[in-house]
Amino acid sequence: MHSKRRIKRDKKNCVQPEAYGRIVKVRWGYLILLGILFSLEVAAFSANAQELQPERMQAIKKADNQASVNWKLVSQEINEKNEYVYDGDKTDDTMSDRVLPKISDGSWGYVMNGKVQETASVNAANLAGWWHVKNGWVDWSDGILETADGWHKYVGGKQEVTANETVESNPGGWFFLKDGTVDFFYTGLAQNENGIFWMKAGGFDTEMTGVVPDTIGVTKDGSGWLYLHGGIFDANADTIAANEAGWWKIRNGLVDFSYTGLAYNETGWYYLQNGLVDFGYCGAVQNEFGIWYVENGRVDMAYDGRAYGYYFSGGKAQ
């Protein structure tokens, strides 16, 4: 009974009988065979790799040699027919929107579709900058000049893009420039070496008289208000001036928010508190010239009579 149990097929351990009393382990023999075959295959692959290595290195070296780049400087200019040419005499009717030299006479032309456009008056570019083009050729003039795409400042025909947030003139007037171009949308303060001006829609506004906030850093911390007369900041002004917020004491061209007392402008004398005319004030106010009768914020020079403990004649206490 014991021998029969030993020769029975054991699927779990892959043991199979060959004869009574002897057991053969089939699985170990199979694994040894696989190992031999794998070793032979690895050896064959290594041999092939050694044979292919020289060919691979030669291919890499050949590719490295082919990767070199040859440079050539190609000329670009305008010929006698006012055509764009490159590399000597090759034409290209796709070349557009470029300023190029005409070597024969030293002029510079504006090229569109491979030819100088002799009807164009534009602001056009090349690698050296932006240029004033008039009737197809660069105009070497100075000043603020009009083109099809705006008004620009030029020096020797080249746009001066550094002219930024300043005021400059041409025969038509004074204009506000931003990056070398007149900004016709700008309204506000602007400054140059001649002073501070009020600009309206990009142009100097001579009709502006009043008080405006400082937007260009003239006052400390930019918190002050400036008085303009005829569109120009008047640094010597000592008066009362108005804006939509009220009537203000102006001293040295700036609103004096600390002022309280009587002050004068061309329409009369007024009483102010903290720099602003108090049109609701009624009473007697003193200054260096006397005591005055004030009604609704203004000295009444026609008042005669008693009020506030004084007798007034011509608005002045006697």
Tens-place pLDDT, residues 11-31: 444 444 444 344 444 444 443
Within a domain: residue 58?
yes
What pLDDT, on the 0 to 100 scale, is given for residue 30?
Answer: 42
Q: How many CB atoms lie within 10 A of CB 287?
A: 14
Within a domain: residue 145?
no
- The one-letter amino acid code at 170 reads N
| pLDDT mean across residues, the chain | 84
User: Using a CB cutoff of 8 Å and minimum separation of 24, what contacts does 187-191 make?
Assistant: 188/212, 188/215, 189/214, 189/215, 189/216, 189/218, 189/226, 189/233, 190/165, 190/166, 190/216, 191/166, 191/167, 191/216, 191/218
What pLDDT, on the 0 to 100 scale, is given for residue 71?
Answer: 80
Q: What is the DSSP string of 257-269?
A: TT--EEEEETTEE
Q: Is the pLDDT of residue 9 over 60?
A: no
Question: What mean pLDDT is predicted for residues 274-292?
Answer: 98
Within a domain: residue 271?
no
Burial of 201 (0-12, 13-18, 19+ CB in 10 A): exposed
Domain assignment of residue 16, given as a range: 2-64
Within a domain: residue 133?
no
What pLDDT, on the 0 to 100 scale, is given for residue 63?
Answer: 55
**What pLDDT digit, counting tens, does each position of 143-161 carry?**
999 999 899 999 999 999 9
- What is the CB-side half-sphere exposure of residue 105 using CA atoms within 13 A? 10
Q: Is the pLDDT of residue 258 over 80?
A: yes
Range scoring the smallest mean pLDDT among 137-141, 153-157, 218-222: 218-222
Within a domain: residue 187?
no
Count of helices and strands (H, E) across the chain: 2, 35
Lookup: tokens for 124: 């056009």
Within a domain: residue 32?
yes
pLDDT above 70 coverage of the chain, percent = 78
Given 3-state DSSP classes, what are the helix, strand and coil percentages for the chain, each rounded to the nearest 5? 15, 45, 40
Counted domains in the chain: 1
**Band of residue 45 on the pLDDT scale cut at 50, 70, 90:** very low
Within a domain: residue 297?
no
Q: Is the pLDDT of residue 51 over 90?
A: no
**What pLDDT digit, counting tens, does each position of 68-113 carry?**
677 878 889 999 999 999 998 999 999 999 999 998 999 999 999 9
Within a domain: residue 52?
yes
Rounded Cα distance between 272 and 248, Å, is: 8
**Band of residue 67 on the pLDDT scale cut at 50, 70, 90:** low
pLDDT above 90 coverage of the chain, percent = 71
Asked if 279 and 267 count as a contact pair (C-beta separation under 8 A), the reply is no
Mention every residue, 6+ apart, whose C-beta is less than 8 A from residue 88: 75
